[in-house]
Amino acid sequence: MKLVECFRRFGGDYEETKKRLYTDELVTKMLLKFLEDPNYGRLSHALEEEDFEDAFEAAHALKGVSRNLGFSGLAESSDALTELLRGKTATQIDRKMCEELWQQVARDYAQVMDALLWLQSEMF
């Protein structure tokens, strides 16, 4: 089944996601809708601009969507970045740790996107 293969490609939990969304059709629809989610781009831009408040909000949103859709790795890495940024001013941020966590988010995001683009190509 292509949907199960997609989850395998990004290391997600298909069964848990299906419990939340009930049908393969809805799971597929929501996964493909993630291709348009703006939070990764927003996070990238906010970090470049050192707008850590917006970076926190984008990382938090990315974490929530990732958790709901079963993107386990991306949910964990965006959660770690969210917690690093939570309630901190620019002078309080550990820049080295922030960069390391951001790089992990980027790797996890790329893995999810590759799997979703594969699924999309298989569906249409």
- For tokens 């009930």, name the residue: 22
The yes-or-no verdict on residue 46 having pLDDT over 80 is yes
Architecture of domain 2-123: Up-down Bundle (1.20)
Put residue 50 in one of left, alpha, beta given phi > 0 → left and psi -120 to 50 → alpha. left
Of 63, 70, 65, 69, give the one whose Cα is nearest residue 84.
Answer: 63
Confidence grade of residue 80 (pLDDT, cut at 50, 70, 90): very high
Single pTM value for the model: 0.93
Q: What are the residue ranges spanned by the domains of the chain?
A: 2-123
Confidence grade of residue 91 (pLDDT, cut at 50, 70, 90): confident
Confidence grade of residue 123 (pLDDT, cut at 50, 70, 90): confident
| Predicted local distance difference test score (pLDDT) of residue 76 | 97
